[in-house]
Amino acid sequence: MNRTAAVERATRETAVSVTLTVEGTGRTEVNTGIGFLDHLLDTLGRHSGFDLTIACKGDLRVDDHHTAEDCALGLGEALDRALGQRRGIVRFGSAFAPLDEALARAVVDLSGRPYAAVDLGLGRDVIGGLACENVSHVLRSLAAAARLTLHVDVLRGENDHHRAEAAFKALALALRQAVACSGSDEVPSTKGTL
């Protein structure tokens, strides 16, 4: 399989370019203008095994919200396109990921139905130029655009950087499972469609 997609997203607030290859090696090149967002998206690409490039020019003079949201929407759309009809995928994935004292859990269903339950328990206002409220917003926006169900929560941890990064690592590992080829050409659903 060669599941790839490219997405260009341009608004008055941002210009985002995303390329994604599901059968990659975890090579990433991410430049959003927000250091911690780059770090989280790099983490997602590397640990999922996706080859991922994201470039964004956003209205950072306003704040980080539009850039964070539009990068997540572009990435989600690219994943949705790369998966196509989602034939022959495992569909479900779950993973735990630790980062020192932090422990996160992520569960995904590539169901075609967008939903996100996110509980990261972040206490700081900002990490590396990214508002902590936007860390959860990135996950929710990604789930909406990728048309997947996502449950992610951080079970413990004292350091907010570790908590957020562990959440993205857990999501990456869960996605790696869910997008894997099952050996069937069927759509993994009793409905016959996702």
Q: Say yes or no to pLDDT of 149 above 80.
A: yes
Query: Residue 186's pLDDT is what?
Result: 80
Q: Is 185 inside a domain boundary?
A: no
CATH number at residue 102: 3.30.230.40
pLDDT band at 194 (very low <50, low <70, confident <90, very high): low
Three-state DSSP class for residue 25: coil
Q: Is 8 inside a domain boundary?
A: yes
Average pLDDT along the chain:
95
Q: Say yes or no to pLDDT of 150 above 90.
A: yes
Q: Is 105 inside a domain boundary?
A: yes
Q: Say yes or no to pLDDT of 2 above 90.
A: no
Share of residues in the chain with pLDDT > 70 (%): 95
Q: Is 50 inside a domain boundary?
A: yes
Q: Is 192 inside a domain boundary?
A: no
Q: Is 191 inside a domain boundary?
A: no
Share of residues in the chain with pLDDT > 90 (%): 91
Task: Read off the pLDDT of residues 99-109 as tens digits, 9 standing for 90 and up.
Answer: 999 999 999 99
Cα gap 26→105, rounded to integer Å: 21
Task: Read off the pLDDT of residues 68-95 as tens digits, 9 standing for 90 and up.
Answer: 999 999 999 999 999 998 989 999 999 9
Q: Is 190 inside a domain boundary?
A: no
Q: Is 111 inside a domain boundary?
A: yes
Domain count, the chain: 1
Helices (H), the chain: 35-48, 65-83, 132-146, 160-179
pLDDT band at 190 (very low <50, low <70, confident <90, very high): low
- Its domain, for residue 97, covers 4-179
Mean pLDDT for the stretch of residues 154-166:
98
Query: pTM for this one?
Result: 0.95
pLDDT band at 28 (very low <50, low <70, confident <90, very high): very high
Cα gap 163→149, rounded to integer Å: 21
